[in-house]
Structure 1
Amino acid sequence: MAVPGKKETEQFSSSATLIGSDEDLKVYCQPCDRDGPRIPAHGYCTECQEHLCETCFTVHKKHTLSRHHTLLDKNNMPATLQLSSTAVTASQPDRLTKPCPAHKKEVIKFYCHDHKTLLCNVCVTLEHTAKTCKVDYIPNVSGKSIDGKEYKNILKAIDNITGQCHKMSEDVKKVTASSNSSLKNVLANIDKFRKEVNQRLDELERQAKDAVKVKQQENDKKLKTVETTCDDVSTSLKTRSATIKQLNTSKQAGTLFMELKFAEKMIEDYEKTIQQVTAYEVKEYNFKPNEAMSTIVTEKSFGKLTTKTLKHTRPSAVTDIKSRKASHQDDICIKTSKDKNVCLIKGMTFLTPDLLVITDFGNKAIKMVDTNSKSVTDQLQLDTEPYDVTSVTSTDFAVTLPEKQTIQFISVSSKKLKKRHTLKVAENCSGISCHQGKFVVSFINPAKLQILNNNGTILKTIKGENTFSKPMHVTTGSSFIYVSDWAMKTVTRLNWLGEVTGSYRGELVTPQGISLSDDRTVFVCDSEKKVIEEISGECSAGKTVLKEPNCPRTVCWNAKTSALYFSCKSANEKYANFLHVFKLS
Structure 2
Amino acid sequence: MATAKKLTDNHLTCVICTEVFTDPATLQCNHTFCKSCLLKYTKTQSEAIQAKSILCPSCRQQTKVTNPDSPVEERVSQLKPSHVIQSLMDDFGGSQDVDACSVCKEDGQRTPGTTWCTTCDDFFCDGCLKLHKKMPLSRDHEVLDVHIHINRKPKVRSFMCRIHKDEKIKLFCKDCRVSMCYVCCSIKHRKCDDVETIDAMMPLVKETLVNETRNQEKKIQTYTDNISSTNSKIEELTTSAQEMKDEVRKVRMVATDVLVRKEKELLVRIDKLTESRVQELTAYRKSQDIDLQMEQQRFEFTDKAVTSNRVADMFDMYESVDGASRDEDASEDRRPQTSSIIFVQDTEKLMRSVDDVMLGEIKVVGGLSDRTSSPVLMETIDFSGVVPNGLRDFVVFAVNGVRIIIVLDFCGGRLCMYYVPNKTSLKKHLQLPCGPAGKVKVSGTKAAVTVPFAQEIAFIKFDPEPILQSNVKTKRNDGQAVFTFTPGGDRALESPGGITSTSTGDILLVDSGSMFAYSGSKVIQLTESGQFVRDVLTAQDDQWSPIGIRLDDDGLLYVASGLCMEIFGFI
- TM normalised by structure 1 equals 0.31
Larger Rg: 2
